[in-house]
Amino acid sequence: MEYFELSLPSQAVTLAAPAPGNTTDVLCGVVASGNLEILVEAHSGADVRFMVETTADGFRETWDAVLTQFAGSHASGGLTFTMNDVGSTPAVVALRLAQAHESWLRAGSRA
């Protein structure tokens, strides 16, 4: 089990937080083998923050590459992505992050 946090620059996310009680909209994925869950929350800073708990030890470089790529391609400054991971491949992580980001925007647009 490995835990790390990472803060990266990213363009500010454009939409406000979803209404309280609608948190089901900002959880993505399931904690299961080869999968992960991502919880999206707002914070007051300008950076995008990642808090990762993963069962696969020793893949920090790969994580950094995937998360840096995501921060560059998705305007997510002001968001925290907290993850519970059970050995997802980089492709699955990238996909879930994109889904989580999209869910946040969708929820925010309704709020």
- Interface residues toward another protein, by CB under 8 A: 1, 21, 23-24, 26-27, 30-32, 35, 37, 39, 41, 53-55, 82, 84-86
Residues in the chain, total:
111
Q: What's the min distance (Å) between Cβ of 86 and another protein?
A: 5
Q: Are 91 and 107 in contact (CB under 8 A)?
A: no
Q: What's the min distance (Å) between Cβ of 48 and another protein?
A: 18
Q: How far apart, in whole angstroms, are the C-alpha atoms of residue 111 and residue 17? A: 7
Nearer to another protein, 24 or 44 (CB): 24
Q: How far apart, in whole angstroms, are the C-alpha atoms of residue 21 and residue 58? A: 37
Q: What's the min distance (Å) between Cβ of 85 and another protein?
A: 7
